[in-house]
Amino acid sequence: MLLHIPKVLGSDQVRQFRQAMDSAEWVDGLATSGIQSAMVKKNWQLPEGVPLTRQLGDVVLDALGKSPRFIAAALPLKVYPPAFNRYAEGQTYGTHIDNAVRILRGTDFRVRGDLSATLFLSEPDDYDGGELVVQDTYGEHRVKLPAGDLVLYPASSEHCVTPVTRGVRVASFFWIQSMVRDEGARRMLFDLDTAIQGLVPAVGNDDPNVVRLTGVYHNLLRRWAEC
Ligand code: NI
């Protein structure tokens, strides 16, 4: 399932991010890739672990914590510190699958990537190309969202970023370990949660069927969650 989560960051926040990032020093994106993906990757990244990357990453994590839709869809257990990339004209990231496990350098913090996320920080009109293309069992999905919007997709998917042919594409990207590892189970929980939230305005929180369905949601989560 691909999920679009609008306005994770507001326009003021995006502007502040861009001011800070536009004057930052960028390094070759190969710094964080595995062997196969290194062969197809051509972009810039903010260096890992420096104060600016951490500070911006913390703002992203804080915004995710305030997004009910993100929490309902990802059921996050751990999030790898957000990274930031920049594709200038001619840059691209060919087809690859993200690494299964990320270990934060110099620590024992590790995250199994169940979900991948891209948070767009450039407006779609500011560049041509630079689409995130994700393959799933239903085919190919091309994603290019307004600045501040996020897309979540299964980390097991093949994906690429098409070459930027004009302008600059800036984004944040990161991986999430979910409490519910199985994608199908996670999807059913999200659908059930969304359906309950849809019923509440019509029948109220204390409707016995809403209470029972909410109980089913939590009992399924209890059955499937690893925390
Ligand atoms: Ni990737």
Ligand 1 geometric centre to CA of 93 (Å): 8
118 and 210 both lie in a single domain: no
> What pLDDT is attached to residue 90?
95
Residue 33 reports pLDDT greater than 80: no
Ligand 1 geometric centre to CA of 201 (Å): 39
Total number of domains in the chain: 2
Ligand 1 geometric centre to CA of 3 (Å): 16
Ligand 1 geometric centre to CA of 119 (Å): 13
Q: Quote the Cα angle for 144-150-152, to 5°.
A: 100
200 and 154 both lie in a single domain: no
Nearest to 32 by CA among 20, 48, 19, 18: 48
Domain extent for 189: 183-224
* Global pTM exceeds 0.85: yes
**pLDDT tens digits, 110-126:** 999 999 999 999 999 99
- Dihedral pair phi/psi, residue 6, rounded to 5°: -70, 150
25 and 133 both lie in a single domain: yes
Amino acid present at 98: D
86: CATH: 2.60.120.620
pLDDT band of 29, cuts 50, 70, 90:
confident
Q: Is the dihedral of CA 181, 69, 122, 103 positive or negative?
A: negative
**pLDDT tens digits, 114-172:** 999 999 999 999 999 999 999 998 899 999 999 999 999 999 999 999 999 999 999 99
Q: What letters, b where the CB count within 10 A reaches 16 and e where it falls short, cover 114-146?
A: bbbbbbbbbeeeebbbbbbbbeeeeeebebbbe
